[in-house]
Structure 1
């Protein structure tokens, strides 16, 4: 089954690499008009724009840092100018780093929480005037929010906070007909995992009941499902896309 999202207006943060990039192109392939953003890599942004032109449709790629409130507000203003409104809002942008607790500085902790948790909150708050009955908010979290991960207390805490944010938003925005859900990927094949040593890759594969890493297509499929009318009675949920970790 191929979802038809023709005419839908979609905003995706962090859409030029990895999972975010595939989410953007999947929405475009389904007929939606997409506005996405990148933080600083002009080369990947230009490459995505070329790919979107080949797919066809009305799409835009702009620069915005989700840790900066002014950038978030400007991104929403761009959505108003280019799309007129938002039918699906996908908060995907995040930062990740690895530091044992004894080496974790206040600065790294704060930057991670600001980007990964405050950023999505600010995005939703700013975008509310452009959302209406039938709109869908989808937050991309991580399976580590439930499983934990060493040397990443800041990252795990930020992703765990998203679960509470989504549950609160589903209660508050549900009466207006706006759905809010979270997609929690496991270990997914991206540019980052391509460089994994063979032994570490095998260890990750062994954690999955399916014995492999996930694909960006599989995460994008979950996002598009939650954006579609097929998920019209689904809100406040966490959809794990983790191969049965």
Structure 2
């Protein structure tokens, strides 16, 4: 191969590396049906339940880098009931895999998250005011809207709204989520509706958290899990 050709290839690769890459998580409805009807019985997970959840994303002016996620259910009076407050997950590792001979690609991610359980009375009151002022509106992206001026409460401000309907399945090794998600980002002024599938590797997570966990054991479990994903999920 000529030196000129080698240099050209290197330049092209350098340009491609600098391009912004993104993983589009939306999948076809037909694939969702295949997972539920054909894959679920094979991998040995049992139906856990279906959840209809609204997530209100808040910014905190005392922690500019943090995003607070407020998970809510819907009460009989069509108002939100806050049941969990947590910080956005911290992604410790993200690997996007292009599966060239498959119809879908794969993202492998290791993340940690923190549930906020020690909120002060003032913090609880401010967050509750924002949650209580939300209005369910199926015509809005994210499924929620706020009266004019009610989406900001001093320290906390609404920066996003999600509406998710999730079917969950579990076994001792896995937790599978098949989810329809409708999101709106207040900062960007844009939203999207997606269908998503998440497979949490419960057994591996438990092993990682054990003191003195053996690397070889974790690698073997990860290899087996990836083989299962490759053979059963990536059609």
Instruction: Tell me whether the two structures share a fold, i.e. TM-score over 0.5.
Output: no
- Richer in strand (by share): 2
- Richer in helix (by share): 1
TM-score w.r.t. the length of structure 2 is 0.25
| Bigger Rg over Cα | 2
TM-score w.r.t. the length of structure 1 is 0.24
